[in-house]
Chains A and B, each alone.
Chain A
Amino acid sequence: MRYEAPESVEGAVALLGGGGPRGRVLAGGTDLLVQLRAGVVAPELVVDIKRIAETREIREADGMLVIGAAVSGAELGEHPVAKALWPGVVESAELIGSTQIQGRASLAGNLCNASPAADTVPALVAAAATCKIAGPDGVRRIPVEDVCTGPGQLSLGDGEFVVAFEFPKRPLRSADAYLRFIPRTEMDIAVVGAGVNLTFDDGGRCVAARVALGAVAPTVILVEEAGEALVGTTCDAAALQEMAAAASAACRPIDDKRGTVEYRTEVAGVLATRAAGIAAQRAKGSQ
C-alpha cells in the first residue's frame, strides 16, 4: 500500500484518477482503517485529503455555510456559526461514536462509507446540502442524496472525491433537527434516523419542509410526500400525523438484529414527528 497526502485538490485528483490502481480516499479514517485491518479492502493507494486546506475549513459567507470534507465532528461541534445555522447537521455529526471517534470522523467519510444508517446523511439531505466534488473533468456539484446509490456504493467516478459540503442560505424562521433511535444512549448504530428541516412564514405557516430518513432503505431517503404534508400548515397535530404516515409509507427497511421491518417502519414516523417538533421549536426561537 502506498500513502500519499497531497496538498492540493488537483494533486489528489491526479493521484486518484491517474490511471494507476484505484485509490481509496482517507479522511478521518474511522471506517477505512477498520476495513483495512479486517481485510475488507486492500487498496494499493491511499490518498489522505487532510493536507488539503479546503477539506479542513468551515467557512461562512453571506449566510451560506461550507464545511470541508474532512472536518471532524469535534471541530464541527465547537463551531458556533455552524451550530447556529445548522443545529441538526451538527447534532447528527456529534452522535457518531465516542469522544475518540469524534476527534477524527468526518462528514465526507460518513457519507462515502455509504452505510444506509449513516447519521449525518439524513441531516445533510434534509438541509439540502450540496457536495462539491472534484475530479478529472473539474468540479461538479450534486445533492447529497445523489452520492450513495446503495449500501457501500457511490455515484462518484474514477478520480472523483468530495471536497466540501455547501449549504443553502438559511432563511429567517428556519431550523433543522436530527434524531436517531438506538436501544441505548450512546455508541450505537441507528435503528432509524430522521432529519427534518423546516421554514415558516411570519404567520407561523410552514413554507418549506424536507424530511429525510436513515436505516429504513438501501440508502438514506428524502421523503418528499412527508415534507409536502407539512407545507401550508402550522405543523399542527393533524399535519404531523399525515407527515408521519408519509414517512412510514416510504420505508423499505430490512429485518436485522437492530430492528424488524415493522418496528423500523413505525419508529420512522414517530422519530420524524419528534424531529419536526424540535426543528419547529428552533425555527420559532430563531425569529
Chain B
Amino acid sequence: MAKAHVTTTVNGDTVEFLCDAEQTLLDVLRDELYLTGSKEGCASGDCGACSVIVDGRLVCACLMLGVEAEGLAIETIEGMADGDQLHPLQTKFLEHAALQCGVCTPGFLVAAKSLLERNPDPTEIEVRYWLAGNLCRCTGYDKIVRAVLDTAEEMRGG
C-alpha cells in the first residue's frame, strides 16, 4: 500500500509527511517528524503522555491516525516555549519541582496549557479533573497541581 501524503500544520508551520494508514499521529510525530517530546506511555489513551492539541482540542496522539491529521492544526510540546523563553507553565514546573523522571511532563504541560486557555482561574478540583487523563508515577500530583495553580495566578497578573 502506497504511503499517504498528508499536509498539516505543526506548531504554526506547514508540514508535509508520508505515512502508512496504520501509523498513529504519535508515530508520525516521533518517527517521521522527529518531534520526540510527545511520549508513548501506554499507547491506549490512558496515560496522556502523548497529549497534543488538535484544532484547539486536547487529544491523545496515540488515539489518532496520522492520516486523520490532513488539514488540521497540531500543537505539540515543542511549540510551547518561545525560542529560549519558556512558557510560564514550564517555568513553574521547574520552580515547584513538578517533575521527576519527566516522561509524563510534556503531556502535563500541553494539557495544563489547554486548561488555562479555556479557564484562566481554575479551582484545584477543576485542575485535578482536567488532568485526570495524565498519569504521573513519580510526583504524587500535588506539586503538578500547585505549579498549574501558581501559573494561573501569575498569568492573571496576580
Q: Do A and B make up one complex?
A: yes
Asked if residues A99 and B21 are in contact (CB atoms below 8 Å), the reply is no
Range, interface on chain A: 20 to 34
Q: Using known A-B contacts A3-B4, A186-B132, determine if residue A104 contacts B21 with beta carbons closer than 8 Å.
A: no
Asked if residues B130 and A99 are in contact (CB atoms below 8 Å), the reply is yes
State whether the Cβ of A2 lies closer than 8 Å to any Cβ in chain B: yes
State whether the Cβ of B43 lies closer than 8 Å to any Cβ in chain A: yes
The smallest C-beta distance from A153 to any residue of chain B, in angstroms, reads 23
- Which of B54-62, B76-84, B89-97, B137-145 is the interface stretch? B54-62
Contact with A along B16-51 (1 / 0, CB 8 A): 000011101000000000000000000111001001
State whether the Cβ of A17 lies closer than 8 Å to any Cβ in chain B: no
Asked if residues A98 and B132 are in contact (CB atoms below 8 Å), the reply is yes
Asked if residues B62 and A33 are in contact (CB atoms below 8 Å), the reply is yes
State whether the Cβ of B116 lies closer than 8 Å to any Cβ in chain A: no
* Set B21, B54, B68: member contacting A103, Cβ < 8 A: B54
Asked if residues B59 and A103 are in contact (CB atoms below 8 Å), the reply is yes
The smallest C-beta distance from B99 to any residue of chain A, in angstroms, reads 19
Asked if residues A33 and B64 are in contact (CB atoms below 8 Å), the reply is yes
* Set A5, A29, A48, A99: member contacting B132, Cβ < 8 A: A99
A115 to B58, CA, bound (A): 25
Asked if residues A1 and B58 are in contact (CB atoms below 8 Å), the reply is no
Closest chain B residue to A48, Cβ basis:
B68
Q: Give the B interface residue count (CB, 8 A).
A: 32
Chain A residues contacting B153 (CB-CB under 8 Å) are none
A272 to B134, CA, bound (A): 32
Chain B residues contacting A37 (CB-CB under 8 Å) are 24, 43-44, 62
State whether the Cβ of B67 lies closer than 8 Å to any Cβ in chain A: yes
Closest chain B residue to A46, Cβ basis:
B21
Closest chain A residue to B61, Cβ basis:
A100
Chain A residues contacting B24 (CB-CB under 8 Å) are 33, 37
Asked if residues A100 and B51 are in contact (CB atoms below 8 Å), the reply is yes
Asked if residues A5 and B58 are in contact (CB atoms below 8 Å), the reply is no
A98 to B48, CA, bound (A): 9
Asked if residues B57 and A74 are in contact (CB atoms below 8 Å), the reply is yes
State whether the Cβ of A50 lies closer than 8 Å to any Cβ in chain B: yes
* Set B20, B63, B133: member contacting A99, Cβ < 8 A: B133
* Set A3, A33, A74, A187: member contacting B63, Cβ < 8 A: A33
Asked if residues A1 and B44 are in contact (CB atoms below 8 Å), the reply is no
Asked if residues B68 and A100 are in contact (CB atoms below 8 Å), the reply is no
Asked if residues A36 and B51 are in contact (CB atoms below 8 Å), the reply is no
A5 to B70, CA, bound (A): 10
Closest chain B residue to A187, Cβ basis:
B132
Asked if residues A101 and B60 are in contact (CB atoms below 8 Å), the reply is yes
Chain B residues contacting A72 (CB-CB under 8 Å) are 57
What are some 29 contacts across the A-B interface (CB < 8 A)?
Answer: A1-B20, A1-B21, A3-B21, A3-B67, A26-B68, A29-B63, A29-B65, A29-B68, A30-B45, A34-B44, A37-B43, A48-B67, A48-B68, A50-B68, A98-B48, A99-B58, A99-B114, A99-B115, A100-B45, A100-B59, A100-B60, A100-B63, A101-B63, A103-B54, A103-B57, A103-B59, A104-B60, A104-B63, A187-B133
Interface on B for A, CB 8 Å cutoff? 1, 4, 20-22, 24, 43-45, 48, 51, 54, 57-60, 62-65, 67-68, 70, 111, 114-115, 129-134
Interface on A for B, CB 8 Å cutoff? 1-3, 5, 26, 29-30, 33-34, 36-38, 46, 48, 50, 72, 74, 97-101, 103-104, 186-187
